[in-house]
Amino acid sequence: MILKNPSSRISIVNLLSDFILSKIPSNEDTIISVIDCKNFFVIKGKTSHKELLDTPKIVDEFVTKFSKHIGDYKVTHTIDLIEYNCKFNKLNNITLTYHNTSNCSYHYSQIDAFNTKKSSYDYSSYLKEITDEELTFTSEFPHGYSLSQGRSLYYYGKHIMYNIPTNYPVSTLTFKLSTDKDDEGDYKFSVTNNNLNTEDDYLKSVILDVFNFDLSWIESEMKKVDWYNEILNPLEDYSFLTERVKDFIII
């Protein structure tokens, strides 16, 4: 993932997508995508929820709530293309990359750049360059995605990464996360060590011995926290994700 300036246009569309998502019951399946076209916003999405949202009212509330954050940024004209009463398949598989850093979503070079209080977009080797010449800015996963649409798996992957003992020499790992099982009853999970570009079968085995891939506690904890913090304070992370699993030991 790319560490973004909280006041950038891409962060604001991420914030708006999560704000719209918050107006839909958490037990519904939803994907909301917000596209900033500079002179207007397209709100595209689909949800299993049946009740139509009052989008203009929600946008007005958003502007009021985050006025100090968005400053002179204008969120005025919107086009609502949300589809309702949609049928979803639960997203059971996702591939994500994590880093051995204070916030495992971000590479250490991004965090260093952010902490120097320079624009993160000056560091093109690791960070996405965004300029005013870009025509549109689109919200990005996990923002605007309900927990059932890959977001719970994303947080569970973070929980696993934070628990890898410091004596195990890894810096960047890619997890193929899944709640599906193979014919032998094991979760369809794999770990790739990005530095070596090889799968780490030993680490995979240890993880599967300890983690049960039960996402219900993640979903319960996420209902207690402020989802906007991920955007407004991107270096912080939820404390429940970093809690240690005492039985996770690598020899």
Domain spans of the chain, in order of start: 9-83, 93-129+146-242
Q: Helix count (H) and strand count (E) of the chain?
A: 9, 8
pLDDT computed for residue 117 by the predictor: 64
pLDDT computed for residue 44 by the predictor: 97
Fold held by 9-83: GMP Synthetase; Chain A, domain 3 (3.30.300)
Beta-carbon contacts of 12 under 8 Å, excluding residues fewer than 6 positions away, are 36, 69, 70, 73, 75
pLDDT along the chain (251 residues), means of 10: 89 96 96 93 97 96 92 85 94 95 94 73 41 78 96 97 89 95 89 93 93 94 95 95 88 73
Phi/psi zone of residue 95: left (φ > 0), alpha (ψ -120 to 50 degrees), beta?
beta
pLDDT computed for residue 128 by the predictor: 43
